[in-house]
């Protein structure tokens, strides 16, 4: 960790030498530790300290981007020169709106000293608790425990000075028997929020309940989707449907449907980076303040997130969702997704199912089949259960689903009161906070023999 004053001073020192009309520097850096375990013992512990610095230079309407991972002054200056030269070689971009001006950001506490100082020994102690729970049932367990701390800074020649330190912690685990497996995970900016024993009991209990699974025929079923399953669907929905590029290019399921009802009125989906129930973060990678954005409000399509360039193309305003300049052509990206909870407890939701399937999570979902209708396909994994007359009666062999998000979520019966923050690959600046979902109809298109 460098600290606000020292880091911004160094970036401005380099930026002052720029020959471009406008210059932006973005710093993303930090330290991370990861402890992996398999067959109920720790087999790997790794540590990384790294950074990446992006330079974006503007010559009229021509833009150049270059990056490095060195804070050595000579390396920074060379990368800046490269960005200027790249800008000279580019065609003009009529949609480039120029760099943003200074703004105020909401004060958010995103850094935790305990998490920043969580050592390999501490992570080993956490994993030991997980392994102990698995041994109670003579199961093996595998997974990982990670902690990190870092800082993000954005400065530009128009006066933007944005800085935010952060921490994150996560754990995931798969408990395994000869015939079954069970999954649990947790994530937070504060490692003290993670109850390792409780999470391990969830994974172990799922593994225990799903032993010697039976098979059922493909078809339409009532389904209980637990938060990891919901979040895995939303990752794909976000990628192909909630950003500015697919919306403007009319490949998003929201394109042409704003103001129309596309799901049950029980469904509200939005992005809110200022809500501390998520991994909150106050600004985007252009230094623009983040705003709350509704995607679906009580079943009605409302909008998508925008950065400044794609907002200009669409005649909109930025919502503060720009990604780093090297990926600017991909448009804006939502990073703090919420699905609004309901009023029913998870156990009561299960009790309302006459005959259906509970899904803990999915894996290798594909969302590129039909993005306009948001068709997704994937496999269940690590805890699929048959529900009969309101009770879980045993495990099921894994099944493939193929269904439209809009069609399935039109049948929403209930959302749980409880929500869970689910880790994602962009966890430093966000995550997904979602409830358990009860769908009246969900299509399974295939089954497996395991």
Query: What's the pLDDT score for residue 95?
Result: 87
Q: Are residues 257 and 176 in the same domain?
A: no
CA gap 367, 254 in Å, rounded: 15
In the chain, how many domains are there?
2
Tokens of 213: 């699974």
Query: What's the pLDDT score for residue 297?
Result: 98
Q: Are residues 107 and 231 in the same domain?
A: no
CA gap 123, 115 in Å, rounded: 10
Query: What's the pLDDT score for residue 367?
Result: 95
Q: Which helix (H) or strand (E) holds 405?
A: helix 405-410
| Tens of each residue's pLDDT in the chain, 450 residues | 899 999 999 999 999 999 999 999 999 999 999 999 999 999 999 999 999 999 999 999 999 999 999 999 999 999 999 999 999 999 999 989 999 999 999 999 999 999 999 999 999 999 999 999 999 999 999 999 999 999 999 999 999 999 999 999 999 999 999 999 999 999 999 999 999 999 999 999 999 999 999 999 999 999 999 999 999 999 999 999 999 999 999 999 999 999 999 999 999 999 999 999 889 999 999 999 999 999 999 999 999 999 999 999 999 999 999 999 999 899 999 999 999 999 999 999 999 999 999 999 999 899 999 999 999 999 999 999 999 999 999 999 999 999 999 999 999 999 999 999 999 877 678 899 999 999 999 999 999 987
Distance of CA 390 to the CA centre of its chain: 32
Q: Are residues 242 and 380 in the same domain?
A: yes
Distance of CA 439 to the CA centre of its chain: 23
Q: For position 122, which CATH number holds?
A: 3.30.2290.10
Q: Are residues 269 and 186 in the same domain?
A: no
What does the DSSP 8-state code read for residue 121?
H
Q: Are residues 181 and 222 in the same domain?
A: no
Q: Are residues 189 and 327 in the same domain?
A: no
Supply the pTM of this predicted model. Answer: 0.96
Q: Are residues 328 and 402 in the same domain?
A: yes
Query: What's the pLDDT score for residue 134?
Result: 98
Q: Are residues 174 and 297 in the same domain?
A: no
Q: Are residues 258 and 393 in the same domain?
A: yes
Q: Are residues 202 and 227 in the same domain?
A: no
Last-in-domain residue among 147, 181, 206 = 206
Last-in-domain residue among 206, 235, 260 = 206
How many CA atoms within 13 Å lie on the side-chain side of 392?
24
CA gap 174, 151 in Å, rounded: 31
Q: Are residues 181 and 268 in the same domain?
A: no
Query: What's the pLDDT score for residue 450?
Result: 73
How many CA atoms within 13 Å lie on the side-chain side of 48?
13
For tokens 């994994």, what's the residue?
A: 381
**Structural domain of residue 354, as residue ranges?**
213-447
Q: Are residues 156 and 15 in the same domain?
A: yes
């Amino acid at each position: 960790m460098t600290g606000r004053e020292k880091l911004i001073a160094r970036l401005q020192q380099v930026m002052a030498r720029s020959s471009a009309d406008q210059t932006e520097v973005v710093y993303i850096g930090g330290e991370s530790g990861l402890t992996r375990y398999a067959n109920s013992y720790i087999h790997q512990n790794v540590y990384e300290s790294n950074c990446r610095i992006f330079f974006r230079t503007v010559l009229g309407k021509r833009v150049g981007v270059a990056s490095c991972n060195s804070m050595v002054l000579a390396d920074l200056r060379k990368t800046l020169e490269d960005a200027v030269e790249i800008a000279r070689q580019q065609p003009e971009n009529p949609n480039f709106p120029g760099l943003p001006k200074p703004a105020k950001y909401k004060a958010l506490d995103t850094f935790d000293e305990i998490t920043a100082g969580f050592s390999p020994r501490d992570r080993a102690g956490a994993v030991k608790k997980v392994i102990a729970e698995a041994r109670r049932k003579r199961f093996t367990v595998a997974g990982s425990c990670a902690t990190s701390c870092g800082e993000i800074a954005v400065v530009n020649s128009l006066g933007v000075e944005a800085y935010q330190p952060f921490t994150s912690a996560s754990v995931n685990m798969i408990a395994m028997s000869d015939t079954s497996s069970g999954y649990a995970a947790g994530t937070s900016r504060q490692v003290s929020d993670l109850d390792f024993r409780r999470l391990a009991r969830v994974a172990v209990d799922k593994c225990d309940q799903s032993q010697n699974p039976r098979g059922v025929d493909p078809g339409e079923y009532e389904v209980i989707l637990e938060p990891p399953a919901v979040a895995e669907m939303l990752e794909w929905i976000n990628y192909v449907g909630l950003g500015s590029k697919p919306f403007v290019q009319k490949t998003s399921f929201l394109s042409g449907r704003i103001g129309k009802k596309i799901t049950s009125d029980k469904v509200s989906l939005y992005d809110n980076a200022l809500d501390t129930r998520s991994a909150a973060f106050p600004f985007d990678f252009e230094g623009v303040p983040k705003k709350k954005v509704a995607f679906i409000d009580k079943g009605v399509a409302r909008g998508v997130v925008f950065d400044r360039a794609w907002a200009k193309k669409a005649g909109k305003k930025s919502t503060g969702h720009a990604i780093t300049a090297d990926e600017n052509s991909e448009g804006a990206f939502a990073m703090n997704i919420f699905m609004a909870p309901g009023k029913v407890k998870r156990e009561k939701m299960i009790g309302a199912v006459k005959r259906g399937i509970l899904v803990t999570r999915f894996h290798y979902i594909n969302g590129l089949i039909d993005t306009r209708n948001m068709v997704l396909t994937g496999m269940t994994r690590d805890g699929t259960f048959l529900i009969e007359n309101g009770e879980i009666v045993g495990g099921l062999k894994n099944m493939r689903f193929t269904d439209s998000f809009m069609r399935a979520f039109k049948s929403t019966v209930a959302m749980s009161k409880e929500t869970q923050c689910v880790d994602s690959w962009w966890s430093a600046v966000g995550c997904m906070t979602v409830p358990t979902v009860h769908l009246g109809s969900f299509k399974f298109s295939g089954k497996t023999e395991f």
